[in-house]
Structure formats: structure tokens, C-alpha cells
Structure 1
């Protein structure tokens, strides 16, 4: 009932805002620029780079907010109703995207599913998933892993999809959007080459992660074995039996390093480290970034370069 009331409130707010939408868009976009609302950090970053100074790109989720547990608020839907483009990663990561679009009620809104053409993995595919069922249900209830941007070939497709949508909406700047996309795609391809080169020389190929199952795409791309303490969503705490299995594996394989992730309580990784003597390194899934990092201008590629550095250390790569 509360959700129905909230949706009705959204529709009322949207209708009230419709009369002054044009002025609001001009104020937000500035000088006729497009206004792009992107859900989470990867698509925000891709859209920002591709758009350059021809659009204002804003991130729907506030910095530091965990996207797995996000529920849209009335003001989020009003914000989308004022945009020219709404960009989301995929229906498994943002199962609420359709609700936002419906609530926005804007016939002029271009909706961009950035995952179009990307290859999805099922939760657990391409990696061992300690203590989990490979058929475990994901965000959208269909057992798919939503973290597709961590395969950089998928990230390149996402960049192209966003560029095409911008070009269609603003054909006068088509050549700029496509050129920006090509330049950024080349950087992602070069990053992929560095990952492939460096991760081919590692003494161990097991990435043991005290966080949620976010790095299956990365592991699948580079032939790594991946173990996570949590499922695809980090809502449920790992069981004592799961923790015991991970501790046993660290000891059996002689792993010297385990991983934690951004914005997740590190207690699980700390427990495993305390029991085994392993040290803790960071892997950043880039779902979101802290406000401090956002203010510093942290980039997706910069985060992935730091991940490569920590993977090389943790896997003892030559």
C-alpha cells in the first residue's frame, strides 16, 4: 500500500512539474545542453566521458549509496522526468528502472539500457562460488550476474550504446559523441590488454573475496578462480559454515592475500585474515564511489588500474 501511495504521489508531483519542465531543463542542462541521468557510477562515468561538454550528466544514486538495496524515491522519479536521457546498466542491477520510467511519464525521455548486446553470465558462471548454488537468484530474480562492466569488452559495448543514444538524440553533435566513444573504448581495450598480460604470470589464480559476488566477469575474462563470502547481493550475512570453508581454503592453498571491497563492512574479510594470517587488499567493483572520491574526480579506469595493482600483488604475479 505504501508503494502505491508513493507512486501516486510521484505522478502528482510529475504532473505539477510538467508545466515548468522546459524551464527546469534549461536551468539544469544549461544553454540547451542535454540533461542525462545515469543510475550508478559506471554508466555515469561512461556517459560523462562520451558527452563531453555537450550534456550535463548527473548520477541518480548519491555517492556512497549501495545500489543493491536502493529504492527510488519520489524526487528521483521527478528528476528523471526532467531529463533528456535516462541511462541504466541492466535490468538485473536496477530492477526498479522500469518503475522509474513509468513514474516519470515523459514521452520525450530517451531510455538507454546500456547492456544491449553485452554478454551476461549466470551468477557463479566461470568461477567457483564457495558455499553458493550456481543457480542462486540475482537482483532481477533470474539468476543473472549484473556486474557486467567488470568485463571490459562489455564496458566497451556499453560506451558504444550510450554514444549511439546521445547521437540519436543530438545529431548535430554526433561526430563528437562517436569520437569520444572511440577514444575511451581504446583506453578500455588497452586496460584489458594489460590485465591479460599481467594476470597470465601469477603464482596463484584464486581470488578469495570477503565481499559479495561481484567479480565473476573479471575472473571469467582472465581465467581466474573466484570465491566470495556473500552471494550476488550482500544483504545476507555469510553463514559460519561458509566462513569455515573459506578459512579452510586459504590454509589449503597457502593464500597470502584475500580481498575486501568498497563500502562493505570488512568484518568478514578481517575474520578470515585473523584466522589464517593472510593480509587484506582492496578490490573496487565501481558500483559507487564515496563522496570524497567523487569530489576528487576518481575515474573508472583509475579504479580498475588500482585493482590490477592489487591483483598482481595478491596473486603474486611476475
Structure 2
């Protein structure tokens, strides 16, 4: 609560400063040189960057390699959002702090874009299986792990940016079409890979692939809930051990950017293989420097899933 009060007070002062400079900003030729767009975490960054192209600069608010579920913006972060031409986030189901920021933003200066706004989010079905109910994540936000819903998010970003900045509409439309074509190819690859599968079950470290599973008629069983910080109960682990054995699961998937201790424990107890399945909640700076992208990681995920789905 103290953090919210302090942040709100500072935010108000920043807002007053922004208002006093609004006339000069409107006349600033640098504003006409290109849009400044702030995005929350990696998929939002890539989706937006692909739509914007060279029409502006797209930045990442949540630092590379940072787990986004529990991120809280600093006063500097909030000022960065206020000064941008647009702010793109996934949904309040993930960025639970976003209403504290957006309520104070002048939407005439900064377009606020919720990429998942037209997607019906699924309820957190895993909540009852863990030590503490995850009330901050009662809805599953991981829509981007489904290529079909990723396309929908790209279209929402395209349409809302076009509405806010109509002079760039043609460019946004053209850029989005080129990227959507790649996402459609990704969807086709997933569909074909799992079309004839008879073993359709996979076990993950946390419940980040529910939308992907539903899209391709698969079954995800997760050790932890929507948030990777949730700890499974002993009864949940016992239940999963039995599940792995009964369903002849060969692989348990963990995440490189989160603790894999529980996944390793379950794999050791059941004698199955460990493999990486990336929920793309963030990419490390090294991964980004090496040219890894949403598309390349999703292709790696497809290869990894084929170890289970046969």
C-alpha cells in the first residue's frame, strides 16, 4: 500500500509536469520524426515492433530476463509510459499493476493498447491445487503461447495504433500482414505436427501452455499454477507422479529462466527426461543479442513438444 501511495503521489507530479509541457510537445519536430512506444514484456515488444517497423521506436519496460508476473513499475518506469505515444500491454491478468498507471495517463497524449482485449481469458483451473490461491492470477494470461491468439493480439495492436495514428495506418497494415503470414506458418506447423498424434499429454513446470494445448487438442498437466512462484502441495506432487506413470509420460518440461527444482524432483522420482519448454514471458539479453525471437523460440518449443506428443 505504501508503494502505491508513494508512486501515485510522484505520478501526479509527473502528470502536472507533462501537462505544462504539452504545448511544446505538440510543436516538437522530434515527435513527428517517429513514434515512441513502450511495451511491457517480450512478446508485446516483438509483436509491436513488427507492426511499427521504422515508423517509431519500441522499447521494453520489464528488463530482459525478468519474470513478469510479479513485476512492479518504478516511478521512472511510470514516467517513461507517460512520455510515450503509446503503451502496449497484454492484459490485467498478467500486468496486475496496470490500472494504477493507466488511470493517470492522458489518453490524448498516450494511446493505451491492451493486446488481449478481444480474447476471452480462461479461468485459472490450477488454482485449487496449490498451497495458496493465486488471486492476482484468477484468469490465465498466457494467450501468446498460442500462435492463433498471437495473431489476434498482433491485429489488435495494428488496429489500435492505426486508430491513434492514422497517418501510419498503411505502414502498420503492411508490416502486420508480413508478420501475420509468419505466425500463420507457425500455426500450420503446429497443426501438422500434432494432427495424427495418439499420445497428446505433456507435463510442464507451470501452467503457461493451456491455450496452446486447447488450440491443438493437447492436454497440459502443470506442476505449479499460473504463476511459476506457486508451490505445489505434497498431494499435488503425488498426484502428478501417478499421472506421469499412468500416462507413460516420457518428458517433464522446465523453464530456463525460472527455478527448475520441483520439475527436477518429479523427473527424478519418475525416472523421466527433462527438457526445456519456454513460455516466452521474457528473453534474456543474451538470447536477444543472439537473435532469438518469439518465432524461433516457438519453433524450438514445437521440437521439444514432439518428444512427448507422438
**Normalising to structure 1: TM-score of the pair?**
0.88
Aligned residues of 1:206 and 1:227 also touching (Cα < 8 A) = yes
Aligned residues of 1:47 and 1:162 also touching (Cα < 8 A) = yes
1:162 aligns with 2:172: no
**What is the SS of the residue equivalent to 1:146?**
coil
Q: Distance in 2 between matches of 1:130 and 1:5?
A: 32
**Normalising to structure 2: TM-score of the pair?**
0.90
C-alpha distance after superposition, 1:31-81 (max 9, x if no partner) = 620001111111111000010011100011011111111112111110001
Q: Equivalent residue for 1:109?
A: 110
Equivalent residues, number: 306
Q: 1:39 to 1:130 in 2, by over 3 A?
A: closer
1:233 aligns with 2:227: yes
Aligned residues of 1:247 and 1:276 also touching (Cα < 8 A) = yes
Where does the alignment leave 5 or more consecutive residues of structure 1 unmatched? none
Give structure 1 regions of 4+ aligned residues with deviation exceeding 3 angstroms.
Answer: 13-23, 103-107, 136-140
CA RMSD of aligned residues (A): 2.4
Aligned residues of 1:255 and 1:278 also touching (Cα < 8 A) = yes
Structure 2 residue corresponding to 1:269, chosen from 263, 266, 287: 263
**What is the SS of the residue equivalent to 1:67?**
coil
1:280 aligns with 2:274: yes
Structure 2 residue corresponding to 1:147, chosen from 135, 142, 167: 142
1:187 aligns with 2:182: yes
Where does the alignment leave 5 or more consecutive residues of structure 2 unmatched? none
Residue 153 of structure 1: CA displacement? Answer: 1.8
After TM superposition, the structure 1 = structure 2 runs for residues 91-130 of structure 1, keeping only pairs within 5 Å, are 91-105=92-106, 107-124=108-125, 129=126
Aligned residues of 1:281 and 1:314 also touching (Cα < 8 A) = no
Q: Equivalent residue for 1:206?
A: 201
Aligned residues of 2:37 and 2:84 also touching (Cα < 8 A) = yes
1:259 aligns with 2:256: no
C-alpha distance after superposition, 1:5-52 (max 9, x if no partner) = 2210222244345556767x979x776200011111111110000100
1:47 aligns with 2:41: no
**What is the SS of the residue equivalent to 2:33?**
coil
